[in-house]
Amino acid sequence: MVNNITLLDGGMGKTLEANGAPFRQPEWSALALIESPEHVTEAHEQFVAAGADIITTNNYAVVPFHIGERFEAEGVTLTSLSASLARAAAGPNTRVAGSIPPLYGSYEPDRFDPTTAPAQLQMIVDALAADVDLFVCETQSSTAEAAASLTAASSHGKPMWVSYTLDDDSPDVSVLRSGESLDVAIATARDHGANAVLFNCSQPEIITAALPRAVELAEGLAVGAYSNAFVPKPKEYAANEVVLGHRDDLNPVGYLSFVDQWVEVGATIVGGCCGIMPPHIAAMRAFLDQ
C-alpha cells in the first residue's frame, strides 16, 4: 500500500485464458480450478509480481450458475482450493481477499433467491475463511444480494468489503443494476458492517461518474473501484450468454487515466476486473509508487 492507496489484482478469467488455461463457458474461470490448478497459481503469481497489495481467490465461478449440480458435490472442495492456492501464491507481503460472488449470474438482480442464497453463501464463506484476510462481496447487483452476502461473511469476524455493479445504461444517474440508488446501496453496506464500498464490473465512465457521490455518502467507509475492460453488454443477452470483446482504448495507459481520476476524487482501493491484466496492474503500481 502506497500513499494509503490499496492496489488490487485484475481479472482472473481473461488472465487464465491468456496463459493457456482450460477456459470455456459455462464453467468460465472455475474450469482451471477443476482441471489445471497450476494455471491459477501462475495467474496469482503474475499479479503479485505486478505489485498487487491484495489478490482475490479464484472461486467467482464456483457457483450453481456456472458449474450446476457440481456445486453441491464439489463446491466446498473447489472453494477451499481457491483459497489455499491464493494464500500460497501471496507470500508474506500480499493479502488475500475471499471472493463472495453472485450465485445466480452476474448482472442478474431478478434471479436472486433469498430462500436458497443464505446457506449457499455460508458454505462459500466457511470454505474460504481459513486462508483469507478479508472478504469481498463482488459484483452485487442489488442491496438484497449484498445484505445476504455480508450477513454470511460477518460470521468470521474478518474485514468485509462490498462491491456493487452499476447500470451501464444509466450514464446520468448512478444506480445499481437493480435500479436502486447509491444512497440505498451505501446505507445497506454500512448497516451490515462493511468496511469498504467499491464498484466493479461496470464501464469505467459509469464508475467515474458515481465515485464523487459515493465518497460523499461513505462517511468513514473506504471507497474503491475496479472496472472491467469489456464493451458494454447488450441488455438482450443474459449472463454468460455471450463472450464480450475488449475495448481497444482500455490498454494499461488508457485504463490508468481512469484510475488517476478515481484516486483524485477520494478512492483508496483500486484495481481491475474482467479484462484487466497483469500489465495494467504493473502500470498502476508504477503510478502509485510515484
Instruction: Please state the domain extents for the chain.
Output: 6-289
259/263 Cα distance (integer angstroms): 6
Q: Which three cell numbers stand for residue 236?
A: 438482450
Segment 94-112 shows an average pLDDT of: 97
Q: Enumerate residues 6+ apart whose C-beta is below 8 A from 276.
A: 10, 11, 226, 227, 228, 229, 250, 255
8-22, 147-161, 233-247: least confident range: 233-247
Strand duo 54-56 + 95-100: pairing: parallel
What is the amino acid identity at position 153?
Answer: A
Describe the chain by its helix, strand, coil percentages, rounded to 5.
45, 15, 40
105/30 Cα distance (integer angstroms): 14
What would the pLDDT profile of 200-212 be if each residue is shown by its tens digit? 999 999 999 999 9
Q: What is the pLDDT of residue 173?
A: 66
Task: Name the pTM for this structure.
Answer: 0.93
Of 125 and 1, the structure prediction assigns the larger pLDDT to 125
Segment 80-89 shows an average pLDDT of: 98
What is the amino acid identity at position 261?
Answer: Q
- Best CA proximity match to 31, nearest among 59, 1, 69: 59
11-20, 161-170, 230-239, 269-278: least confident range: 230-239
Task: Quickly state the pLDDT bin for 237 (edges 50, 70, 90).
Answer: very low
182/43 Cα distance (integer angstroms): 33
Across the beta sheet with 134-140, the strand order is 6-7, 269-270, 222-226, 196-200, 160-164, 134-140, 95-100, 54-56
Q: What is the pLDDT of residue 15?
A: 97
Of 236 and 4, the structure prediction assigns the larger pLDDT to 4
Question: How many other C-beta atoms are found inside a 10 Å radius of the C-beta of residue 88?
Answer: 13
Q: What is the pLDDT of residue 174?
A: 84
140/181 Cα distance (integer angstroms): 13
* Full DSSP string of 169-203: T-SSS-BBTTS-BHHHHHHHHHHTT-SEEEEESS-
16/115 Cα distance (integer angstroms): 33
Question: How many other C-beta atoms are found inside a 10 Å radius of the C-beta of residue 214?
Answer: 26
Dihedral sign for Cα 208, 259, 95, 105, please: positive
Q: What is the pLDDT of residue 130?
A: 98
Domain 6-289 is found in CATH 3.30.1490.20: no
